[in-house]
Amino acid sequence: MDYHQRTEDLLKDYKRVVRNPERKFLIEESVVTKAAMALPVGTLVTWTPPESTGRSPKDTYIVKRPASEKTIDWDSPNNVPLDPDTFSMLTEDALALLSVKKRVYALDRVVGADTNYALPVLTVTDNSLSGLFVDNMFRKVPGDIGKSAFAGKPFLLLALPYEKLDKSRYQGKLRKMEDGSASNLAVAMDFDNRIGIVFGSAYMGSIKKLIFTVMNYYLPDLGILPLHCSANEGPDGKCALLLGLSGTGKTTLSADPERSLVGDDEHGWSDNGVANFENGCYAKLINLNPEKEPEIFKASFHADHYLSHGSIVENVMVYPDGTFDLDDDRFTPNSRVSYPLRYLSNYLESAKTGHPSTVLFLTADAYGVLPPISRLTADQAKLWFMMGYTSKLAGTETGVTEPQATFSRFFGQPFMPRNPEDYTNLLEKYTEKYETSVFLVNTGWSGGPFGVGKRMDINATRAMVRAAMNGSLDKVEYTRDPVFKVEIPLSCPGVDSSILVPKNTWQDKAAFDKMAEKLAGQFKAYFNKAFAGKVEKALADQCPGM
């Protein structure tokens, strides 16, 4: 069944279908249809159902087909297989619903600022706010799209965020819920037939992350390394990449007024350099401080009339007078905002830059034992890239009463579907070829674990990041961490040297040693479970605890 053609046939109904509408039209439709309301500052705000305040990994599927199944790491818990017949059912149900909607929005966009591998994406949705989100996050189709490796092979995305699946129809085919019934939502990808479906998930990140996963699958076949990272460029033209999981500071640290932002979340690294996938940013808002993060705050809430604005805020506490509280997490700690890159004061309009001189791996270590910044060797870079370490904090999830180590390979495991070596080999290739320095940056705790120590001061972290980016840390003396094996600088411009060696910040040195060994043991346990026997010994030797 050619679902691409079926969709194009559906879109010929010009009375119901609005194809590539103006941005102002999407904003107005979102307010008129009550998909969102406009705040006095011009921002649109929406609240999703409780089950849609974040991604639903257990309801996210990859269609398992003979042509592609060997390229996908099915051992990863995030790669949940779906049989082709069930995916066909989802597609049929989506098209059937779209065919009777009073209004359908269709947007032709691309993902990827480098036209050589820009992926054409046709998004079809019944929700105007989802259409506006696509306009915020995806890019206009360039005139030279014909030179793309994906020319003539568009990806189709069907998004029905507020529709629910018929549980009885999908019994035994989708995830079983606690009551024994089938789940009524699904986010599914068919790489072979170039189709994605968001069914029943109103969290807008479901659209973004589905397409990111698609790019992460397709690009390694072209010799391009996809990365879950932000990127910026200094006045000297040198680029830096910042990799990290949500909450580690990727967006915050990349939005530096002294550097031009290339993008905040998703990029490709090829022999042409680095290119942003997106047109916008999708930033976390919880506890956003306007003084410490003025760029993000201004982009989210600058005072224009709502029809000329179009930033979308999700699940923030708003009061009747239109004021809001970014510290209130009663709806979710995962409150978000999407806005176009052009709302920032210093962004790179082309969204393309050269090869990075510096790569930074960000981690928020709640154990308080990792150095605030350290230098990695080539083997350590591959190891920490594979491990993708950060921490869960006490209180953020039911049953989490103390910090817990979290490992998400490539700093984005749910969105990296291929076999691990497809990514690590490309990282090694490009960092070696372009002589890129790699650093580990701990944006987490110092002086003790979460609850005892303090979160690393953002201004100190910014100073260390700048020193890594401008080459200042190439000129200082280092010492080797005996547990984590990384190289710690003994000085850094603009930073109190007493905080650089983490043990020095703890009053109880014995407690530090015990905590460091505890975390190293968790590294060892995860490595042995996920990678033992799958990587070379030189890499395994760099794992803490080994």
> Strands 389-392 and 454-455, how do they pair?
unpaired
Question: Catalytic pick from 309, 336, 355, 375?
Answer: 336
Helices and strands (DSSP H and E) totals, the chain:
12, 30
Q: How many residues comprise the chain?
A: 546
> Strands 60-63 and 80-82, how do they pair?
parallel
Q: Which residues, including other chains, have CB under 8 Å from residue 474's CB and lie 6 or more apart?
A: 437
Q: Which residues pair with 228 in a beta bridge?
A: 266
55 is annotated as an active-site residue: yes
109 is annotated as an active-site residue: no
Q: What is the structure's pLDDT at 398? A: 42
Question: Catalytic pick from 130, 213, 246, 332?
Answer: 246
CB 444 within 8 A of CB 365: yes
d(CA 177, CA 168) in angstroms, rounded, equals 12
Question: CB burial class (10 A; 0-12, 13-18, 19+) of residue 143?
Answer: exposed
Question: Catalytic pick from 265, 379, 422, 481?
Answer: 265
58 is annotated as an active-site residue: no
Question: Catalytic pick from 64, 194, 250, 466?
Answer: 250
Q: What is the structure's pLDDT at 402? A: 64
CB 257 within 8 A of CB 292: no
Q: What is the structure's pLDDT at 394? A: 46
End-to-end CA distance of the chain: 52
375 is annotated as an active-site residue: no
What one-letter code names the amino acid at 290? P
175 is annotated as an active-site residue: no
Give the global pTM: 0.93
* φ, ψ dihedrals at 119, nearest 5°: -95, 115
406 is annotated as an active-site residue: no
CATH of domain 3-36+48-224: 3.40.449.10
Residue 214's nearest CA partner among 349, 131, 88, 121 is 121
302 is annotated as an active-site residue: no
Structural fold of domain 364-540: Phosphoenolpyruvate Carboxykinase; domain 3 (3.90.228)
d(CA 273, CA 114) in angstroms, rounded, equals 9
Q: Which residues, including other chains, have CB under 8 Å from residue 120's CB and lie 6 or more apart?
A: 108, 109, 110, 141, 145, 148, 150, 151, 153, 154, 155
> In the chain, where are the structural domains located?
3-36+48-224, 281-343, 364-540
**Tens place of pLDDT for every residue, the chain, 546 residues?**
799 999 999 999 989 999 999 999 999 999 999 999 999 999 999 999 999 999 999 999 999 999 999 999 998 999 999 999 999 999 999 999 999 999 999 999 999 999 999 999 999 999 999 999 999 999 999 999 999 999 999 999 999 999 999 999 999 999 999 999 999 999 999 999 999 999 999 999 999 999 999 999 999 999 999 999 999 999 999 999 999 987 788 878 887 888 899 998 999 999 999 999 999 999 889 999 998 888 889 999 976 778 888 999 999 999 999 999 999 999 999 999 999 999 988 899 999 999 999 999 999 999 999 999 999 999 999 999 999 999 876 444 444 456 789 999 999 999 999 999 999 999 999 999 999 999 999 999 999 999 899 999 999 999 999 999 999 999 999 999 999 999 999 999 999 999 999 999 999 999 999 999 999 999 999 999 988 887 888 889 999 998
251 is annotated as an active-site residue: yes
Query: Is there a shared CATH topology between the 281-343 domain and the 364-540 domain?
Result: no
User: 3-class DSSP state for residue 33?
Assistant: coil
Token pair for 319: 């009061």
Domain 281-343 in CATH: superfamily? Answer: Phosphoenolpyruvate Carboxykinase, domain 2 (2.170.8.10)
Q: What is the structure's pLDDT at 393? A: 61
User: 3-class DSSP state for residue 213?
Assistant: helix
